[in-house]
Amino acid sequence: AVEEGIVPGGGCALLYSSRALESLELANFDQTVGKDIVKHALKVPITAIVQNAGKEGVIVVEHLMRQADESLGYNAQTGEYVDMLAAGIIDPTLVVRHALADAASVAGLMTTTETLVAELPEEPKTGGMDGGMGM
């Protein structure tokens, strides 16, 4: 925070930064698709926070995007819209910037990589004994 300052937390800085992409003029369809992917990705953190608090993330995001005040956000603990800076809900700018840059780097690697390795999800274990009891 000392190095680059702070931004409104709870995913608000990323959400509001998606506005900057609206007026971006792009040369081709692929760039436009990329812009749309980034715009969607910038809304995911706040949507997840709100949904984890038991509310509807899309509704909160739409409400915030209609506001002019970019320090306004959603306090998931109280369920209220608040000035995030005044409420002390903040993120260090450096952390947010690095998270975005790292995510973009990984996404770039995934688009140029022919193969990805991932773990298969474990099969759910059944409770009790499998098999018949009649001998």
Residue 40 lies in a domain: yes
DSSP of 24-84: ---SSHHHHHHHHHHHHHHHHHHHHHHHHTTS-HHHHHHHHHT-S-TTEEEETTTTEEEEH
Mean pLDDT (the chain) is 88
pTM (2 d.p.): 0.74
Residue 134: which pLDDT band, with cuts at 50, 70 and 90? Answer: low
Residue 23 lies in a domain: yes
**Residue 41 structural domain:** 6-112
Residue 102 lies in a domain: yes
Kindly state the percentage of the chain with pLDDT values over 70: 93
Q: How many domains does the chain have?
A: 1
Residue 84 lies in a domain: yes
pLDDT digits (tens, 9 = 90+) for 1-44: 677 899 999 999 999 999 999 888 899 998 898 889 899 999 99
pLDDT at 45 over 90: yes
CATH for 19: 1.10.560.10
Residue 55 lies in a domain: yes
